[in-house]
Structure 1
Amino acid sequence: MILAQPCAGQAAPRAAGELAWTIGYDPKTFDPAKVDDQESELVRYLTAGVLLRFNRSTQKIEPKLAESWNLSSDGRTLTFQLRSGLQFSDGSALTSRDAAWSIRRVLLPATGAPVAQEFLSPGGVTVETPDDQTVVVRLPQRVIGIGKVFDEIAIEPAGHPSEGRITAGPFVVADYRRSQYVRLRRNAHYQERDAAGTALPYAAGVRLDILDNPEQEARLFQRGEYDIINGLPPDYFELLKRRLPSSVRDLGPSLNTEQMWFNQASSSPLPAWEKTWFQNRDFRVAVSQAIHRADLARIAYEGHATPAYSFISPANRAWYDSGISAPHEDVAAAEAKLASVGFHLRGSILEDASGRAVRFSILTNAGNAARLKMATLIQQDLAALGMQVTVVALDFPALIERLMHTQDYQACLLGLENVDPDPNAMINIWLSSSPNHQWSPSEKTPATPWEAEIDRAMNQQAGTSNEAQRKLAVDRVQQIVADQQPFIYLVYPNALYAVSPRLRGAQPTVLEPGLVWNIERLRLQEAR
């Protein structure tokens, strides 16, 4: 077991007017076009200047670097008018040339930008600049929710990607010490002002301490060294609720999910018989039926979670399908399903038809107590079927390396943060060709008929403006996922936060990045 080491005492002293909180691990990249992990996404959100921003509170698209934007009636042409006088953080002018270059860069296959998948056919997108203030993006087909896609595209100086050190957003990357902290500095050339004409952001900077130790994080929060805890673990929520009751917020079920899955990739280095187990629908369904989700919510989350059976949370009322038929807890049914495909008990050990004992490991990330508790509870549940399960906790970079690169793992338990309630934002998870199609990434063609059906349904909902047709397509995907269990959904965690009484401007939402979605307007109350 590899455990992440706490970084106590390594943080830089706090500067005047600087906000401070923690992230769990080092960002994988500071290149905003290549973000595919939570911590890198947070840095991008805090630093990127974007044409449009999805307001996490109103859930509406707002112009940012663009003064206005227009989508043609056929949904295939977007026209952006930039604000006048825009500058990058180094004082250089920002024009349509920079915006066009940045959009083209994320569309290039060589960049490997996850956001490119959201254009459906990125190779057919063209970008034009009729003048210095106008950007025209032409799509080969309609993409539902296309405005939200531009929330993920940082505008950088044309030809000079700077990894967050020259930005048009509220902050710039000023300093990074591996395993210690990321420090952001206020962008003095940021274009926004408040209603009184005061330049934004209010804060002089942000310090993100790299600390994968919730106990130490809670202790430092109580001492006033951290201003927020974004995504508070449930056990520390209860601790702070007792000690600082006015500081904690439980917003109820989030849009996020916790799930486990088996490695079904044909190219993985797993033995053939393990691939046969994991690619077998009845095996996956039996595992799902053996898991006592109510116990996961009650014990691992201390009641701050809801059992999950779909990738869409009941909190997402517009898209959740309450009528889906999903495997629920039924150990007897699980045993019968395994027996029907050749598994049998030899004593207390489950074996496959060839007499191989069913043994596998579940990977999860070290430092996340709730996930470790869930993995241990699942280990116990599966032992009732005769499965021998080992729980392995890795630091996050090592875990991502196993999942995304070597594919050397059997099963994994992780969460998915959903920024946007529209299911189209998850298209890069469900399309079989996507590198984020976790159970079998980057399939050249769909490996199974049901994956091909998911591809068709997701593309259908992404290509029509008819909301009823979109809902039917998304409902169908929810049912296929419930039938096939490529992801075995476990719980919907509640949105739990801690906010310093000194922090002004906080408006918590269930959508990521939670407490800091309006980072430009957060500031500390001055001492009197």
Structure 2
Amino acid sequence: MKGRRFGFLMALILAMGWSFAQTPVRGGTLQIGADASPSGLDPHVATAFASFIVTGQIYEGLTEIDERLRPRPALAESWTVSPDGLTYTFKVRSGVTFHDGKPLTAGDIAFSINRVRDPKTGSPIASRVNLIKDVRATSPTQLVVELSQPFAPMLIELANIAVMSEEYVKAGNDMQRRPMGTGPFAFKEWVPDTYILLERHPRYWRQGRPYLDALRYNIVPDAATRQVGLASGTYQFLPNIDPSLAVTLRNTPNVKLITTQDLAYSLIGMNVSRKPFDNPKVREALNYALNRQQIVQAVYFGNGTPAGPLGLRSWASPQSAFPCYNTNPARARELLAQAGYPNGVDFGMIVIGSNKTVVDAAQVVQQQLAQAGFRARVEVLEQGKFIQEWRNSNFDTFASINGGNADPDGYLFRTFSTGGSTNVFKYSNPTVDRLLNQGRTTVNEEARRPIYARLQVELACQGPIAHLVYGTLFSAARENVQGFKPIPTRSLIYLRDTWLAR
């Protein structure tokens, strides 16, 4: 009996100790090991994860997306929607200040949304808000947004519009190099290819946040160096790491892996304005040549699933709906012959070199395609050069990784609509355009589902993207890093809740 009582008391003491250990501790700098240097820090034009992991701490939107992929208030305290779904009236949160100490106003938010909408900005997220007809501040704390049509993912998409200070931007500050927002951390210093330092925003509107004094993003492209650095304690947090590094770190003392499902996916993109990929049969043949399950095993170490056009589990169609997902090199050769290429095709493939998973996947894909008559000349490019070529549609094909979204429209419309802001493939399909417009303007969720089911069938085999794999999203941290929660969108908003146990 005594033994049982002793065991119970010990368990109680341990539980109490764990409880005490979970009391947040203030102070300290979180040393982050980042795999690439950002090409810039203007969130309205950025396209790379290397930028977003930094700007997500500097800026905020009217709304934000939580770990369950639901929109919730951020800089907007509340909102109302007109009965026809065309007018949103937002109450702007009071007591919010920019990092320079000046108060946030509804005018700053209107300016930021209009900056994204302005063609001169060239924002890759402009297509997400192209149903906004007008946005205006009716008072310092009230914003009115008028739509041309009902827009189902409106509140989700507003989370992607980082709010800037109108005065700061118009003063001529370089937003790529000197960002300034309302977020929990303020920009302090950037030593190119070495580190970026953010400091705690002392007047941050979320009471008591952030706990940390600073975030230091150490630029460490070499995975082995990041691994050793985390194991030794030089770095305390590695965000969004590749599967091979996760496997290596799994049993490292004093290191933990933090996981969730990733909405980002690896892909092969095809330029349909260039031969041979202007022919939909060639695009279909490429899909038949791929063995996605083999990529899951060889590149993702089993931590992934073959990717269809949508990664949102509640929206994704079963792969049985896509005949081209049944690997069949012989069928691929037949389609190439029907398209006028009986001897196969030669083409270039540029690869974003800052992502090891993509580089590894491109090598496996190159081998798979060769068995079906696709002869790819693979060229691995550094991140800045890759983004430049991608933006200019200067490729036959490319291998990369794309971010997902909490709503199907957030990914599909900008990517596949004619003239979409990230439609670098030059793809245009009237049926797809019609379905995309129906999907975003239909407010009832159940009525939207069959629309997106048909879209996935239209895009899976003959679209401009061969979707490869949705992986498990891994981050790695020292055991004393507490309070962080991962989000499938790869957002790091919970760094504001992160603290270092002593």
TM-score for the superposition, normalised by structure 2? 0.88
Pair 185,73 (structure 1): closer, same or farther in 2 beyond 3 Å: same
Pair 508,141 (structure 1): closer, same or farther in 2 beyond 3 Å: same
Letter in 2 for 1:111: T
Pair 185,337 (structure 1): closer, same or farther in 2 beyond 3 Å: same
The match for 1:183 is 197
Q: CA deviation at 1:321?
A: 1.2
Q: Is the 8 A contact 1:170 1:186 kept in 2?
A: yes
- Cα deviations across residues 399-422 of structure 1 (Å, max 9, x unaligned)? 1111112x3322111111214244
Match status 1:234 vs 2:243 = yes
Cα distance between partner residues in 1 of 2:463 and 2:323 = 9
Identity %: 24
The match for 1:307 is 306
Using the TM superposition, name which of 144-153 and 93-102 deviates more: 93-102
Q: Is the 8 A contact 2:189 2:197 kept in 1?
A: yes
- Cα deviations across residues 215-243 of structure 1 (Å, max 9, x unaligned)? 11111111112222222222221211132
RMSD value, Cα: 2.1
Q: CA deviation at 1:305?
A: 1.8
Cα distance between partner residues in 2 of 1:307 and 1:422 = 18
The match for 1:201 is 210
Pair 243,22 (structure 1): closer, same or farther in 2 beyond 3 Å: closer
Post-superposition, which runs of at least 4 consecutive aligned residues in structure 1 deviate over 4 A?
none
Pair 282,169 (structure 1): closer, same or farther in 2 beyond 3 Å: same
Cα distance between partner residues in 1 of 2:185 and 2:65 = 18
**Aligned match of 1:420 in 393, 406, 413?**
406
**Aligned match of 2:376 in 389, 397, 418?**
389
**Aligned match of 1:440 in 423, 426, 434?**
426
Q: CA deviation at 1:320?
A: 0.8
Match status 1:523 vs 2:499 = yes
Q: Is the 8 A contact 2:330 2:372 kept in 1?
A: no
Match status 1:140 vs 2:151 = no
Q: Is the 8 A contact 1:52 1:150 kept in 2?
A: yes
Cα distance between partner residues in 2 of 1:141 and 1:367 = 40
> What are the residue-to-residue correspondences of 1:238-257 with 2, within 5 Å?
238-244=247-253, 247-251=256-260, 253-257=261-265
Q: Is the 8 A contact 2:354 2:383 kept in 1?
A: no
> What are the residue-to-residue correspondences of 1:465-476 with 2, within 5 Å?
465-476=443-454
Match status 1:223 vs 2:232 = yes
Letter in 2 for 1:155: V
- Cα deviations across residues 399-453 of structure 1 (Å, max 9, x unaligned)? 1111112x33221111112142444444211212123113127xxxx3xxxx121
Three-state SS of the structure 1 residue aligned to 2:187 is strand
Q: CA deviation at 1:184?
A: 1.0
Cα distance between partner residues in 2 of 1:82 and 1:246 = 41
Pair 419,467 (structure 1): closer, same or farther in 2 beyond 3 Å: closer
Q: Is the 8 A contact 1:257 1:311 kept in 2?
A: no
> What are the residue-to-residue correspondences of 1:326-345 with 2, within 5 Å?
326-327=323-324, 328-345=326-343
Where do 5+ consecutive residues of structure 1 fail to align? 1-15, 194-198, 266-274, 351-357
The match for 1:355 is none
**Aligned match of 2:437 in 459, 466, 473?**
459
Cα distance between partner residues in 2 of 1:236 and 1:32 = 28
The match for 2:289 is 290
The match for 1:26 is 37
Cα distance between partner residues in 1 of 2:300 and 2:236 = 23
Q: Is the 8 A contact 1:424 1:461 kept in 2?
A: no
Q: CA deviation at 1:457?
A: 0.8
Cα distance between partner residues in 2 of 1:100 and 1:369 = 39
Pair 371,58 (structure 1): closer, same or farther in 2 beyond 3 Å: closer
TM-score for the superposition, normalised by structure 1? 0.84
Letter in 1 for 2:147: L
Q: Is the 8 A contact 1:227 1:499 kept in 2?
A: yes
Q: Is the 8 A contact 2:200 2:212 kept in 1?
A: yes
Cα distance between partner residues in 1 of 2:219 and 2:398 = 23
Letter in 2 for 1:231: N
Three-state SS of the structure 1 residue aligned to 2:250 is helix
The match for 1:491 is 469
The match for 1:85 is 95
Q: Is the 8 A contact 1:424 1:458 kept in 2?
A: no
Letter in 1 for 2:340: G
Cα distance between partner residues in 1 of 2:377 and 2:411 = 33
